Amino acid sequence: MNTSTYEDDKNLALAESYYHHMLQKNFAAMGGCLHPEVHLISPLDEVFGKEAVVSAAENLSQILGDIKMRSKFASGNHVMFAYDFMFSEPIAKLRAAVLMEFKDQLISKIELFYDGRPFEEKKNEIFS
């Protein structure tokens, strides 16, 4: 793979910015990080398009307290984070990972990895 550190750093900064805006509930800025045809894959559902992804993030943010980053790396058009989603009880801490892809210097794919069982009751609220 022939990529530069600059490209890796730029994608990593954009991915971090996406989560920062989510936690700040600045969904317009968060949406600015996303490619119009972004594809989100999670254990609960799969959605396409910026509007659907932003809507899911808005709904998730209603129950999300914080995100604690544990590890991150970037290579070419991919960024991967290992982090803890912090919720109130009974969920509390949920270990998760995300693999992001970039196209046209925007996030084009978000694939989330976590145990979805604690969210089964909230699925329709998040992905409405």
What is the pLDDT at residue 1?
Answer: 45
Contact 123, 45 (CB under 8 A): yes
Kindly report the CATH number assigned to the domain that includes residue 60. Answer: 3.10.450.50
- Taking the C-alpha atoms of residue 13 and residue 17, their distance in angstroms, rounded to an integer, is 6
Query: How high is the pLDDT of residue 123?
Result: 63
Reported as type and span, the H/E element at residue 95 is strand 93-103
Instruction: List the domain range (segments joined by +) for residue 38.
Output: 5-126
The CA distance from 128 to 125, in Å, is 6
**How far apart (Å, rounded) are the C-alpha atoms in residues 87 and 11?**
27
> Given this model, what pLDDT does residue 122 score?
64
User: Along the 128 residues of the chain, how does pLDDT read in single tens digits?
Assistant: 445 677 779 999 999 999 999 999 999 999 999 999 999 999 989 999 999 999 999 998 988 999 999 999 999 999 999 999 998 877 789 999 999 999 999 999 999 999 887 777 666 667 76
Query: Taking a C-beta distance cutoff of 8 angstroms, is the pair 80, 102 a contact?
Result: no
| CA 116 – CA 76 distance, rounded (Å) | 29
* Residue 124: predicted pLDDT: 67
Side-chain-side CA neighbours of residue 114 (13 Å) = 25
Domain count, the chain: 1
The one-character DSSP state at 119 is G
Instruction: Tell me the pLDDT of the chain averaged across its residues.
Output: 90
Q: Give the pLDDT confidence score for residue 2 in this predicted structure.
A: 47
Peptide bond into 118 cis (omega under 30): no
